[in-house]
Amino acid sequence: MSTSARLAVAAIGTLAMGLGLSLAAPASAAPDEAVYDALGDSYAAGFGAGTVLGDAAGCSRTDTAPPVRLDGRKRIALDDFVACSGATTADLAAQLPALDADTDLVTLTIGGNDIGWTQAIGACLLLDDPTCAQAVAGSRLLVQGLLPARLDAAFSAVGTAAPDAHVVVTGYPHLFTPEAGAFGNASPQEQEALDEGADLLNATIRAAADRHGLVYVDVVKKFDRHGVNAADPWVDPRTFHPTLEGQEAYAAALTAGIRPQRLR
C-alpha cells in the first residue's frame, strides 16, 4: 500500500472515530428470550426429588423440576412456575393468572389426578387382586367418560389466557417394568394393566391436545425399563414420581418437543 493510501485509510478511521462511527461489521442482535410459564400437577412441579423451592406454598415445586431444567435452553426464560402437586383440571384455573399476552411458551402436565389413578395404584400394591382389577377398571371408565371434556375445558382456558403461546402438553410415564417381577402385591400382569391404563390416559391427553392444536410430548419411551421395580429405576418407590434421572428425562423430552419456529 502506498504512503498516500495509508494516510487516506488513517484519515477515514480518524473521521469515523470522531463521528462515533464503527468500521467493524455490525454484530447480529441477540434473539429475544421466550417468556415461559409452567403449569400442571406434581409431575410438572417436580415432586419427590430435589429441594422444595421457598415459594412453593404447599405445591412441592422443586429446583430440579423439568421446567427449571428447561430454563435457559432454546432461548427460553422461565417466568412463572406455578405447577402444583395434586392439581386437577379444575385446579388449573388457579394457575391461569400466570399467563398473559406476553407468554410465548406454556408447558402443562395435567389429568392424572382427575381419574383416581393414585387410588388404583395403591389398591394394586396393597390389596387383593379383585380390588386391584376393580380400581383399574374404574379409573379407565373415568378416563374415557369424564376426562375428555375436562381436558377440552382446560386447554381452551389456557388458549384464552395465552392466545399467542406455543403450548406443549406432556403425558405420563409407565410406572412399572413388569418383566422385573412382582412389586408389593402387584403381579407382573397387574403392572401391565396399570401401564396399559397409563397408555389410555396418555392417548386421551394426546387426542385433546390435537383437538386444540397443541403439541403433545410422549415420555413413555424415555422411561422404558426404568420403572419403579427396575434395576435402574427412574421412578422413586417412595413417591411413585420421577427421580432426578426421571426429571431430566422429562426435561429432555420437553426440549425435543418444543418447536423453536413457534416461539415468537
Which is catalytic among the residues 2, 4, 42, 212?
42
Tell which residue, 150, 142, 139, 249, has the closest CA to residue 195.
139
Q: Is 166 a catalytic residue?
A: no
Closest CA to 168 of 219, 108, 221: 108
Q: What is the DSSP string of 181-232?
A: --BTTB-HHHHHHHHHHHHHHHHHHHHHHHHTTPEEE--TGGGTT-STTSSS
* Distance, CA of 37 to CA of 81 (rounded, Å): 6
Bridge-based pairing state of the strands 76-81 and 34-40: parallel
Instruction: Please give the DSSP secondary-structure letter assigned to residue 263.
Output: -
**CB contact set of 208 (below 8 Å; sequence gap of 6+):** 148, 151, 152, 155
The C-alpha cell at 17 is 472515530
Using alpha carbons only, how large is the chain's radius of gyration in Å?
25
247 contacts 38 by C-beta, under 8 angstroms: no
Annotation says 212 is catalytic:
no
Indicate which residue of 166, 174, 226, 241 is catalytic. Answer: 241
Strands, sheet with 34-40, edge to edge from the N-terminal-most edge strand: 76-81, 34-40, 105-109, 166-170, 215-217
Positions annotated as catalytic residues are: 42, 241
